[in-house]
Structure 1
Amino acid sequence: MSDRYAWAGGAEAQLCLGPFGDTESAVVLIAPALFEEANRMRAVTVAIMRALAARGIASILPDLPGTNDSLVATCDARLEDWRMAFAAAVPSRPTYSVAIRGGALLDVEADVAGRYHWSPPQGADLVRDLVRARLAGVREGGAAFDPADIDQPGPPIELAGNAVSRDLLRALDAAEPLAAQRVVRLEGDHRPADRRFAGRPLWRAAEPGADPALAAAIADDIADWIA
């Protein structure tokens, strides 16, 4: 079901799945992956939402200002607006934040009952990945790019197919996720985690992909954690 939520800068779309009739039951609010990772992770994110719905748990996936069908231009997106919008998307019922990858940098202001992070990066790691992808494009004949330009005033910078404001890049570079009650990662990722899952890092795939077994396992883990 498509719906909208209001924040200080206007209104944005959100995808809602699962049972919403009981206003006392818990709902999962998903902080999505960012930039091109969001496109690669969309299918598995929705698969997790459908799996949660099958377990009797409602979930919400909000669009961020400047993404998807937002009326805010991508080049005008700001980290503080993303955080404000995500906080405004929290419904008036027990809510648990589930952040995927860079979404862990967004839920810092949300009034939620708990935070669940899947492979959360430091903001600097996310920016580094964007820069690395742009430099790879330069080596393949793309326009010249100097990473030092991020710290200089100027127009938005083209990264991963998006015109990204330098203010947003600098804010992300300094951003860190809040401590979460539960952190999960994939096998092979040796950073601290409460649980590790078998699967491949879909956020690094060349094309969007799906992993039904991984989506089901994460949905089970979220449901158990909330319970």
Structure 2
Amino acid sequence: MTLFEYIDWPCPSINGGTHDELALVFDKGRQHRLLVLPAWFDEANKLRRQTVEIMRRLDLSGIDCFLPDLAGCNESEAPLAQQTLASWRHSGTAAAREFAATHVFAVRAGGLIAPEELPGWAFGPVTGARVLRTMLRARAITAREAGKAERLEDLQNGARTDGIELAGWTIGAEMFRSLEAATPSGELVPIDQDLAGGTGLWRRAEPGEDPEQADALAAMLAIGIAGT
């Protein structure tokens, strides 16, 4: 079995300078080096294992892979509410530079912060508005089941000025407003769910994995990287 390791990487801080965040890496100093930008929020939990399984297969194909944490996510001590789409985009660019990435693979909303100078792919790319809409609807449903009425329009209006908590994630007002207009990088080659086979793991209630889908995605990426 191939082994990964966790290392610290110097993530840009919102007030300047850097601070340490974790990165999961398969790094043997090889020619091809893939920056992996993960899914966000609740989808990050559902797709984390599958993302690592894809990286594991790419390692076996001779490709180094790097999965950096963003400020405010996972074990980060940085407050999520203070992060912005611009700060995360800056982090994506900084990670590409730190790990000397030659290519990028973005999963779902990860495509919103992919460095434009790198060739790469986006799996199941999604707009920022779609990310927010899914979580807003989930919050409204939960409120209704608890006997409270929360209108989507009211939630959106409040979030634009005061921020909002969605599915346990505290999203600041600036991040919310930016996400409403954010679209995936047009420089990335999209990989639709149907092409990868199986089902979208982000649609499941619990985290999971799909070995055959991981095989298919890793093969597509390995072939694409070898051809660039």
Q: Which residue of 2 aligns with 1:192?
A: none
Structure 2 residue 123 is the aligned partner of structure 1 residue 118: yes
Structure 2: how far apart are the matches of 1:184 and 1:8? 29
Contact 1:150 1:170 in 2 (8 A): no
Q: Which residue of 2 aligns with 1:50?
A: 56
Shift of 1:135: 1.3
Alignment of 1:132-143 (within 5 A): 132-141=137-146
Shift of 1:182: 2.0
CA displacement, residues 158-186 of structure 1 (integer Å, 9 cap, x when unaligned): 21221211221111111011213421112
Shift of 1:144: 4.5
CA displacement, residues 39-69 of structure 1 (integer Å, 9 cap, x when unaligned): 0000100000101111111100010111011
Q: Which residue of 1 aligns with 2:173?
A: 166
Alignment of 1:183-198 (within 5 A): 183-187=190-194, 196-198=195-197
Structure 2: how far apart are the matches of 1:14 and 1:142? 42
- Match for 1:150 among 152, 156, 174? 156
Q: Which residue of 1 aligns with 2:12?
A: 8
Unaligned runs of 5+ in 1: 188-195
| Normalised TM-score (structure 2) | 0.87
Structure 1: how far apart are the matches of 2:101 and 2:50? 24
Contact 1:5 1:88 in 2 (8 A): no
Structure 2: how far apart are the matches of 1:50 and 1:74? 29
Alignment of 1:1-227 (within 5 A): 1-9=5-13, 10-17=19-26, 19-22=27-30, 25-90=31-96, 91=98, 93-107=100-114, 109=115, 111-112=117-118, 114-141=119-146, 144-148=149-153, 149-152=155-158, 154-187=161-194, 196-227=195-226
Structure 2: how far apart are the matches of 1:94 and 1:6? 15
CA displacement, residues 118-167 of structure 1 (integer Å, 9 cap, x when unaligned): 01012211111111111111121175433333334654312122121122
Contact 1:117 1:180 in 2 (8 A): no
Give, as a single letter, the amino acid of the residue that structure 2 aligns with 1:5. Answer: W
Unaligned runs of 5+ in 2: 14-18
Q: Which residue of 2 aligns with 1:190?
A: none
Give the aligned length. 214
Structure 1: how far apart are the matches of 2:76 and 2:59? 26
Shift of 1:100: 0.3
Shift of 1:110: 5.2
Give, as a single letter, the amino acid of the residue that structure 2 aligns with 1:3. Answer: I
Structure 2: how far apart are the matches of 1:122 and 1:63? 20
Say which is worse superposed, 204-213 or 148-157, in terms of deviation: 148-157
Calculate percent identity across the aligned residue pairs. Answer: 34
